Amino acid sequence: GAVVSQHPSRVICKSGTSVKIECRSLDFQATTMFWYRQFPKQSLMLMATSNEGSKATYEQGVEKDKFLINHASLTLSTLTVTSAHPEDSSFYICSARSAGETQYFGPGTRLLVL
Amino acid sequence: SQKIEQNSEALNIQEGKTATLTCNYTNYSPAYLQWYRQDPGRGPVFLLLIRENEKEKRKERLKVTFDTTLKQSLFHITASQPADSATYLCALGDTGRRALTFGSGTRLQVQP
């Protein structure tokens, strides 16, 4: 099946620093990638939709200047959490899809901001 | 507003029995519905997709039904095994908006 990787799997950073998370589709070209955030015992909340070569579409309440998304190629999207604060600590998950409806998820990145 | 409800209480069943999980939705007319499995600290894994014009879909020990009149999907795991223990998420999608909307998931615990 389709494989999506994320890097890093876990990151701990100091408040005020920026963190970049990479999402790659390994064996297919992803026309669209999605970024989700999941807090403990809660559902996945969509943050933004990213199409290759165009600006990301952010969900209401998600600050585009704080969560920078770059979808530079059909296999790579990056999420940069700028000036991270403790309330940004969460589980960040990306997903990718090609022409069909199925989304394939990455393994997630656990971010802890001290 | 759109709402997806999954039983937040954990479902505990004995090994070998059939597990049935429910997904109800309101204020939504999805074109398709997907079920995912999520283990702790991991990303969701796709299991099954069922479209609005399909009543039932099967894959090995898994069966999904989709009732657009009741606005409900049922997810069945037959001959359940302890390895089936996980959180199961339902997600709805439509043809216009490519993103999925997820329910909060139901935790299944299969006792040996």
pLDDT digits (tens, 9 = 90+) for B72-105: 999 999 999 999 999 999 999 987 767 889 999 9
Nearest to A101 among B32, B41, B105 (CB): B32
Q: Which of A35, A40, A91, A107 is nearest to B45 (CA)?
A: A107
Nearest to A43 among B93, B98, B102 (CB): B102
Give the whole-angstrom CA distance, residue B21 versus residue B17. 13
Give the whole-angstrom CA distance, residue A77 versus residue A72. 6
SS3 B108: strand
The whole-number pLDDT of residue B34 equals: 94
Residue B86 · residue B108 · CB < 8 Å: yes
User: Residues of A at the B interface (Cβ-Cβ below 8 Å)?
Assistant: 1, 4, 6, 32, 34, 42-44, 46, 49, 91, 93, 95, 97, 101-108, 110
Mark yes or no for CB contact A91/B32 under 8 Å: no
Chain B nearest-CA distance from A82, in A, is 23
pLDDT over 90 (residue A90): yes
The whole-number pLDDT of residue B97 equals: 65
The whole-number pLDDT of residue B13 equals: 96
Residue A99 · residue A20 · CB < 8 Å: no
Q: B20-72 pLDDT, tens per residue?
A: 999 999 988 888 999 999 999 999 999 999 999 999 999 999 999 999 999 99
Q: A1-47 pLDDT, tens per residue?
A: 689 999 999 999 999 999 999 999 998 888 899 999 999 888 899 99
